[in-house]
Amino acid sequence: MQECYIKDFPDNIDQEIIIKGWVANRRSSGKLSFLILRDGTGICQVIVEKALLPDTYSEIKKLPLESSVIIQGSVVKEDRAPGGFEVHASGVQIVHESEDFPIGKKEHGPDFLLKNRHLWLRSPRQIAIMRIRDALIRHIRSYFYTNDFTLIDSPILTTTCGEDTSSLFSIDYFDLGKAYLSQTGQLYLEAAIFGLGKVYCFGPTFRAERSKTRRHLTEFWMIEGEMAFFDHKQNLDLQEDFVAYIVQNTIRDKAQELAVLERDLAPLKKIKAPFNRISYDEALDILHKNGSNIEWGSDLGGDDETVITRLFDKPVFIENYPKKTKAFYMKQDPKRSECVLCADLLAPEGYGEIIGGSQREDNLDILMKSISDNGLDPERYDWYLDLRRYGSVPHSGFGLGLERTLTWICGLTHLRETIPFPRMIYRAYP
């Protein structure tokens, strides 16, 4: 009798096997018990007959949910059973009889579920989301590998700020003063392109924004790419190809998990290049026609993005924002100095921004002035300025938020479900 996983059942029909897992559900009668078993690779139904196991049946028939067990039995194909297979048990070993599991079939509020996130992760919905996340990450890495990017592990502790200084988590770094949890790996990627051409990083980033919207986490994972000799248009072309690739491959591989979430795949199947492209000015015209009084020079909020994305069935780039709304490193538009060569990519169906990107300022004098205008300490950026002193070239890059992208692909209402243990302004437990 060999040990196997539920995923291997198609190769073990009518064979005697051993499986190990947890009781996800149970119903019993006088002579039969039906256990729904989860082993991490799938689910199956286990049929336990009192006549075969008379000494332990009374204990088996009242097993609490999430008890861990080892089952011996034969695999039977049964299309009506969960997972499409049954195991007819010849032996049941109870490894641990669970206490009453706090998450039941009744409705629970988000606060209760988040407090019990370590247990909530066992639910079919959360398992599906985590499997889709895993596939999305795999295809992200595959895209960069097949397109000749080199992975660069950028530091999490930094002395420079890549975004708004008001959203920094700071710490005392020994005797060297303040250091910060990284907001972005971009500045370090820029250093790497001079030796490697096209590079990317993939890791946790941190924003101390006091925001409670459905689109914000204080700790999230970001994928950033940086490319030497890429202008603004080439940057957008690559982002289109990248997003189309990861979406199509993920929905192909994880159709079953997306079905668990009741996600309509029809809108996602449309995600192919080219995407829509509008200017910041055109975006404001759209908002004004929809009753907004947003003024030129203001950044777009989540509600603004929702209005715009409802008008398109594919992602839309909003290009050339006012310089004062964006980060110091973005390249000044040579045709319009008050704007920069940048774009935010908004996902359709009201999901909003998933990518921010730009051509980087490669002119030393303009970059130095931008650092000063943003109230940053030039000494902390001296190493970054060196990149403009020694072989400066046109270059561009972007950052994609993993959890926002996953929220869109899964069709969720809040991104807190897309990361195993979400960190939010009022949530750091468990």
For 344-363, how does the pLDDT look when each residue is reduced to its tens digit (9 = 90+)? 999 999 999 999 999 999 99
- Residue 238: how many other CB atoms lie within 10 Å: 20
Q: What pLDDT, on the 0 to 100 scale, is given for residue 104?
A: 85
Q: What pLDDT, on the 0 to 100 scale, is given for residue 297?
A: 95
Superfamily of structural domain 2-96? Nucleic acid-binding proteins (2.40.50.140)
> Which residues, 6+ apart, have CB-to-CB distance to 147 below 8 Å?
198
Q: 14-44 burial by CB neighbour count: b if 16+ within 10 A, else e? A: eeebebbbbbbebebeeeebbbbbbbeebbb
CATH 3.30.930.10 spans which residues of the chain? 115-418
CATH 2.40.50.140 spans which residues of the chain? 2-96
Q: Which ranges of 50-123 would DSSP assign to H, the alpha helix?
A: 57-60, 110-115, 117-120
Q: What pLDDT, on the 0 to 100 scale, is given for residue 163?
A: 72
What is the C-alpha to C-alpha distance for residues 33 and 124, in angstroms, rounded to an integer? 21
**Which residues of the chain are under the pLDDT cut of 70?**
none
**Answer CATH for 115-418 from 3.40.50.2000, 3.40.50.10610, 3.30.930.10, 3.40.50.300:** 3.30.930.10
Q: What pLDDT, on the 0 to 100 scale, is given for residue 214?
A: 85
Q: What pLDDT, on the 0 to 100 scale, is given for residue 134?
A: 98
The pTM (predicted TM-score) of the whole model is 0.96
Q: What pLDDT, on the 0 to 100 scale, is given for residue 107?
A: 86
Q: What pLDDT, on the 0 to 100 scale, is given for residue 211?
A: 82
